[in-house]
Amino acid sequence: MWQEIMAMFEGLPSQKKVIELLLARGFQVTPEGKVASGGIDIPHTQIASEIGVDRRVVDMTVKRIQKEPVLTNVFENIRSIAFLVDVAPLLGLSVVIIHPMNARECGILSDVAMVIAKRGFSIRQAVSDDPYLTDDPKLTIITDKNIPGELIEEIGKLKSVKGVQIHTPL
């Protein structure tokens, strides 16, 4: 589906940048033609400034979304989430980032979760990058307590895992 959406903007690099931002942030396009996060409207000028395009590019992209039923359905229903990755240490949580061998394979999350659960850790949040939207997708796991080195090694030995790192925010 993501490939179909991106293909609709082939040859329109500026509009494609708008689409990528909307998808990455989980921003909606309302029936009134506004970009929003929940009930909060985001000015087209701010979106344009963020990605380095003219506001009219955002306007045109939104109009295109409204004309295509598939796009309308996606962008009226997408939602953003509170991603705890950068505040986890402030909350006493730990962050582990898993780099998969192949992010399109099934079972990566379940393999990692099983190893973590067997050691008595609780997963507070698991966020997986979509391999169709990200060049280097990863799985971010936030746990209830610090992960010991032995557990990192154990996760790293899983056949679906290329690498593991502890995330420390800037």
Residues 6 and 70 in one domain: yes
Q: Is residue 83 part of a domain?
A: no
pLDDT score, position 135: 83
Q: How far apart are CA 60 and CA 74, in angstroms?
A: 17
Q: Is residue 82 part of a domain?
A: no
pLDDT score, position 170: 54
Q: Is residue 108 part of a domain?
A: yes
pLDDT score, position 44: 98
Place of tokens 């033609």: 33
pLDDT score, position 162: 96
Residues 61 and 15 in one domain: yes
pLDDT score, position 24: 87
Residues 55 and 100 in one domain: no
Residues 129 and 162 in one domain: yes
pLDDT score, position 167: 82
Cβ neighbors of 48 (< 8 A, separation 6 or more) are: 54, 55, 57, 58
Residues 105 and 139 in one domain: yes
Q: Is residue 158 part of a domain?
A: yes
Structural domain of 73? 2-77
Q: pLDDT truncated to tens, each residue of the chain (170 aa)?
A: 677 888 889 999 999 999 999 998 999 999 999 999 989 999 999 999 999 999 999 999 999 999 999 999 999 999 999 999 999 989 999 999 999 999 999 999 999 999 999 999 999 999 999 887 788 999 999 999 888 999 999 999 999 999 999 887 65
Choosing from 26, 57, 77, the residue where a domain stops is 77
Q: What CATH code is carried by the domain that includes residue 115?
A: 3.30.70.260
In degrees and rounded to multiples of 5, residue 42 shows phi and psi of -115, 115
pLDDT score, position 7: 84
Residues 93 and 150 in one domain: yes
Choosing from 77, 101, 132, the residue where a domain stops is 77
Q: What is the pTM of this model?
A: 0.80
Total tally of structural domains belonging to the chain: 2
